[in-house]
Chain A
């Protein structure tokens, strides 16, 4: 064994040295910024998280492929990064000062943090140069990406977070009308519990569903949007205010009634969506992203029973009862260091990815968009069409995690998990208030 071992060892060392020498020096600036010499290809790098096998990811990658074909003079270095690793990787290179030229960016706090770190530049120029395109977006599409009058990205998608999905068949079976008020919802839950049907499917393992899908809209019904924005900015409103605690208590009420299935804090959204898609839960409060799950997993019989609406209204609440929390999807941020020829190429790529044609392709891949365009009924499922129609008739309110600082969001997410297993609303409200207050001071 020893002779073999030492032989293999020496071989390996030789290969190692060759590999090390062969590949290093003068190695690329995959993050090389600045203008390129004239006559050479313009190089731009783009990072995104459309690395999956779902239709939308394939569509986005397809658009980039097409762009490469249409622009042989531009070299596009494309990095499709798995979603789990996307943010850690982006933040690592950001910390090292090596941003890619274009990169997927979440609206709201992420954009704001990047802005305060001075690493992105506005795309007002691009938007203004194509007014038809700019006006094709639904109202408020840019608010998450706009600060001080400067817009930093255009959204590639729309994510309403609080659809109230329901299985009409189950509701009819027990003589329950679609709940339009809170009390009706409570009554519905009680009836369903008596008949041993899971009232609302919830998969809160990742902690954000309870916050984005349920609380964002529920709280808005009670407190109204203005209060929330003030509290988030800590200007004249606090999270310890009675209306917010009231909102928390409403959620607690649902949990205490057993509206959610057992162990909802330890299963993920996919599993909850599965439950609903199989007709094992009467309702589900979830976002637009659930549509594709439901489409691929529901049998035709179940699918025919599925409908969507908004959360019920709450008496005495200050919020718009016909509104839903929602946020535009991610957009492509542009690194500050991109100038000249590269900037023009980058602009073209941004337009290719978020322009009217792209928006149509995306909606046809069963992903809602923040743009005025209709899906092709032959390409999407019935429930998608119902959801899309619903969107046209409602107003959007902010989602908590896009407005709060990340520390504040963390506090809400964790607080809600605690609430769902019996925590006290007052204590949780205090924790949230402290976290947001502290984060804003830093």
Chain B
């Protein structure tokens, strides 16, 4: 009686051990593959940083090798020549403000679309959709004429406002998708508690949508930070130029100084990496945080 049970338990346990071993193997294999994939994807970034230290010559003849000498001065030259200091400040201002505007208006509208039903919902969603589908270059001329008329050219708003406007559809779609997956019960509970619409939005919907907001922040940040077309056409004053413009001084149409371009890009990429890492944390942390109580 007991021995049979023990035997059974023992064999189960041994099976368990075997399957643990097997699972460990599976998991290390999985991790190994993931690691290889990660290195592979990370390679271009690594390549950029390595090349930033090379001279033009080395870049052409040995694009994949390590530099013979580590030319730290590439960075200082790139910084000075492209006027990166001012450009970066401008980029930061424009990007942060555009992002703030996008998030605020986007979250509000997402809230409306996700949690309410009203007659004009479908047409409005359709309108926002149209905005996402047009190649931006076709709107350059009309936008230019428009901004000229309202005297917005050559200001920060010339960038901030259209950036936010164009990013709104994405923000709305992503945030509303998150919001509609939140259970209705929390809202009803809040109503019973006596909270108004604004309270629900500000204190519940927003925090719960933290992953969505972080996602939109990352995407928006990248889009605004790297955009070339709008600052090219809407901004004249050198003191207002943003980063992508300043990066293009290294080519003159016939030839490009790749080593300085790479160093400049390596510098320009650092803030984006930091922002991404910051927001990634937020996404991982952003949790249901006690709203769904038992």
Touch between chains A and B, by CB atoms below 8 Å: yes
Residues of A within 8 A of B (CB): 1-2, 5-6, 8-9, 12-13, 15-16, 19-20, 23-28, 30-31, 49-54, 57, 77, 79, 81-86, 88-89, 92-93, 95-96, 98, 269-271, 273-274, 278, 289, 292-293, 297
24 contacts between A and B (CB under 8 A): A1-B210, A2-B206, A5-B206, A9-B104, A16-B97, A16-B100, A19-B93, A19-B157, A20-B156, A20-B160, A27-B151, A30-B236, A49-B253, A50-B252, A52-B253, A52-B257, A54-B252, A54-B255, A81-B232, A84-B253, A85-B228, A89-B233, A95-B144, A96-B148
Taking A23-B156, A30-B154 as contacts, is the C-beta distance between A51 and B249 under 8 angstroms? Answer: yes
* Chain A hits for B101, CB < 8 A: 12-13, 16
Complex: how many Å from CA A2 to CA B145? 40
Complex: how many Å from CA A16 to CA B232? 21
**Which B62-78 residues have C-beta < 8 A from chain A?**
none
Chain A proximity of B65: nearest CB distance (Å):
16
Residues of B within 8 A of A (CB): 56-57, 60-61, 81, 93, 96-97, 100-101, 103-104, 137, 140-141, 144-145, 148, 150-157, 160, 202-203, 206-207, 210, 228-229, 232-233, 236, 245, 248-257, 260, 282, 285-286
Q: What is the chain B residue whose CB lies nearest that of A85?
A: B232
A52 and B249 within 8 A (CB): yes
The 10 A-B residue pairs with the shortest CB-CB distance, nearest first, are A52-B252, A83-B253, A12-B100, A82-B248, A23-B155, A85-B232, A289-B254, A20-B157, A270-B255, A96-B145
* Chain A hits for B203, CB < 8 A: 2
A92 and B100 within 8 A (CB): no
* Chain B hits for A15, CB < 8 A: 97
The winner among A27, A273, A289 for most chain B CB atoms within 10 A is: A27
Of A24, A49, A50, A274, the residue contacting B157 (CB under 8 A) is: A24
Of B155, B229, B250, the residue contacting A20 (CB under 8 A) is: B155
A24 and B60 within 8 A (CB): no
B140 and A51 within 8 A (CB): no
* Chain B hits for A85, CB < 8 A: 228, 232, 245, 248
Of A2, A19, A25, the residue contacting B97 (CB under 8 A) is: A19
* Chain A hits for B150, CB < 8 A: 24
B96 and A82 within 8 A (CB): no
* Chain B hits for A269, CB < 8 A: 254-255
A89 and B232 within 8 A (CB): yes
A24 and B97 within 8 A (CB): no
* Chain B hits for A28, CB < 8 A: 154
B250 and A52 within 8 A (CB): yes
Complex: how many Å from CA A86 to CA B251? 12
Chain A proximity of B68: nearest CB distance (Å):
16
Q: What is the chain B residue whose CB lies nearest that of A87?
A: B253
Complex: how many Å from CA A84 to CA B247? 12
A2 and B160 within 8 A (CB): no
Complex: how many Å from CA A126 to CA B271? 51
* Chain A hits for B207, CB < 8 A: 1-2
A12 and B254 within 8 A (CB): no
Complex: how many Å from CA A274 to CA B285? 51
* Chain A hits for B250, CB < 8 A: 52-53
B251 and A23 within 8 A (CB): no
Complex: how many Å from CA A77 to CA B236? 9
* Chain A hits for B233, CB < 8 A: 88-89, 92-93
Complex: how many Å from CA A278 to CA B228? 34
Complex: how many Å from CA A8 to CA B206? 14
* Chain A hits for B103, CB < 8 A: 9
A293 and B141 within 8 A (CB): no
